[in-house]
Structure 1
Amino acid sequence: MGKVFLVIGAAYGLIGVALGAFGAHALRARLPADLLAVWKTAVEYQLVHALALLAVGLLLRQHGSAGLLQPAGACFAGGVLLFSGSLYALSLSGVRVLGAITPLGGVLFLAGWALLLLAALRT
């Protein structure tokens, strides 16, 4: 499972950098400032949690399938899809109701960090 999280983390990192550049160059002139700020938030959270996934992947490789690490990685991966994905969609569409999905991703991020903390305390 460590390899899976390493791959997802690296992919999220690659995509996050590309989307950050896209926002800075292609969207700057097309989006109002408030939606561009939403886009930047999505990119920032995606990149931070790409790093978290890389850490989980490395820890799994080092410690094997330690109980709480796999659920932590799943929470980070799902959190990026829901949190950042909903913010990207909101930015491009302007449909504000998509923001209702964002907190679900935030809850997954919090759960992932809590699980990672518990995993660290148990080792």
Structure 2
Amino acid sequence: MKRNLIITALLGCVTIVLGAFGAHALKDILSLSELKSFETGVRYQMYHVIVLLFVNTYSGFSIKSKNIISYLLFLGILFFSGSIYAISFGVSAKNIWFVTPLGGLLFILGWLKIVKSFYKKE
């Protein structure tokens, strides 16, 4: 669990850095559409960092549930937000078109695991 919280805190820090980078350094480089996509990646990353903080400090979930949820959301951030960042920096969407929806699916699975954990009180 401590490892999950460390990774979560680092992801939170990276989110702030990327948000500031997008707001200042990228506004003159990216088109408005590209900048909005980048901001979507940052926003979804921060939403899930906040959820990860909750999950990993909530005493009602087992360590196993916390780890499963954390890994699903960590990978969701990597694939969903990471692919949006990559596309914003010039990687062809045609080359990684499947990565963003895969990240979205991992987010959904993480949320469903949260539902299951609340339901079962694991």
1:64 is displaced (CA, Å) by: 6.8
Question: 4+ residue stretches of structure 1 with deviation over 6 A?
Answer: none
Match of 1:30 in 2: 29
What runs of 5+ residues in structure 2 fail to find an aligned partner? none
Q: TM-score, normalised by structure 1?
A: 0.90
Q: Distance in 2 between matches of 1:64 and 1:20?
A: 31
SS at match of 1:27: coil
- Name the Cα RMSD after superposition: 1.5
2:115 maps to 1:117: yes
Q: Distance in 2 between matches of 1:3 and 1:65?
A: 14
Q: Distance in 2 between matches of 1:25 and 1:55?
A: 30
Check the 8 A contact 1:9/1:52 in 2, yes or no: no
Instruction: Give CA-to-partner distance per residue, 1:6-49, whole Å, 9 cap, x none.
Output: 11111111100110010000000000111111100000011011
Equivalent in 78, 82, 87 of residue 84 of structure 2: 87
Q: Distance in 1 between matches of 2:50 and 2:14?
A: 13
Q: Distance in 1 between matches of 2:2 and 2:61?
A: 11
Greater helix fraction, Structure 1 or Structure 2: 1
Percent identity between the two aligned chains: 36
How many residues are aligned here? 120
Match of 1:96 in 2: 93
- After TM superposition, list the pairs within 5 Å mapping 1:21-60 onto structure 2: 21-59=20-58
SS at match of 2:28: coil
What runs of 5+ residues in structure 1 fail to find an aligned partner? none
